[in-house]
Structure 1
Amino acid sequence: MGLRPGGPPRGGRPGDRRLAGLSGVLFVRHASTPGMRAACFPAPGEEADAASLTRAAALTRTAAGAVVWAGPSVAARQTVAALGLAARVVPALAEADCGRWRGLPYERVAREEPDELASWLTDPHAAPHGGESLAAHAERVAAWLESVRAEPGVVAVCDAGAIRAALGHALGLDPLSAARFDLAPLSVTELTVTRAGWRVAHVNRKVLF
């Protein structure tokens, strides 16, 4: 599927450094899934929609020549393959583990566990589903982001939660505030790094298909 378990990731043709000279990360939200359309909590084993993967080909030139990283979900890895790139899979770019809510519709959780859902929505350190808190998720994404800040032209293909956590780290936002960013499937969000720290170049930019 164009994925490499280790070693320096790469993609595109030799010498085709579209992102050369830039220092930062271009995030690509992975292709849509049935769970996204049904408003369900993320399920890492869910496959991406075939039509959305076809549209992902339009992003190939955007990522050409970059160092490519991918979240561990099936949809993220399928999106990388659709781009025709090679990537290193990194667990830090996974969505927050939703525990027993994984794959369930939000509406069902709100109906059956309203107090637990309210806790999760108001306390970034809460994990009423038995999985991972939003604060813990934000910390691991921030640690990864800092680890690649010196690499030029990095592309990260993952789902919205990891991108929101990266934006929160760049802007000094708490996880609940960062969750307000709207990010469409296959949209791109770019962070650049300067001597003063991270800067947001753009968020949720749509690529014309």
Structure 2
Amino acid sequence: MDQTTSSLPPCAGLRIGDFAPDFEARSTVGPVRLSAHRGRWLVLFSHPADFTPVCTTEFVALAREAAAFEARDCALMALSVDSLFSHFAWLRMIRDRFGVEVRFPILEDPTLVIARAFGMVAAQDSDSAAVRTTFFIDPKGMIRAMTCYPANLGRSIPEMLRILDGLQAIDAKGALAPANWQPGEPLLKPPSQNLDEVFDAEDATSWFLRDKRGGD
């Protein structure tokens, strides 16, 4: 397999705030290097195997929403242990059965070297059952959010888009996104770090729990 990595650790256990390890691998659109996507958002997500029921529904849903990610200046990149030719056969089946073409890259990771580097599987694991993680990587290459699903539960594509919208909104506004936040709804101001402002607040919560509306 023509797959190389750039000093990837054996099992990094990456966390939010870490920079995503760089790598290069074969994909359905040709060789891909992670760092080539710097300057825009990237959603890197993995699946246990091709030709599996849940993963097939995810790829159909993601292909249908690919334009929504592109409109947010975000690329999609998938990762699987299966071979490049297995990916090709699976994508042909998806197109013929569901009428959608998956055009974002699907990487092969037959030795689990990328999965281990991103902490998706432990060093001693020999299969990809746990490889169902999504990484939201910002334009600087930093991991800003992560989700991990079991093999028998499909991802929510609307939630993936909501996470991306939330991350972009809080960056643009210097704010916080509350529970169940949706685009267009108020964000929250960061809490005050000044004791006088805490004492002068109108009530016991307004110093730390405040809507941020408009240009405020």
Structure with a larger share of its residues in helix:
1
Q: Do the structures match in fold with TM over 0.5?
A: no
Q: Greater Rg, structure 1 or structure 2?
A: 2
Measured against the shorter chain, the TM-score band is 0.3 to 0.5
Q: Which protein has greater RCO, CA pairs closer than 8 Å, 6+ apart?
A: 1
Scaled by the length of structure 1, the TM-score of the pair is 0.33
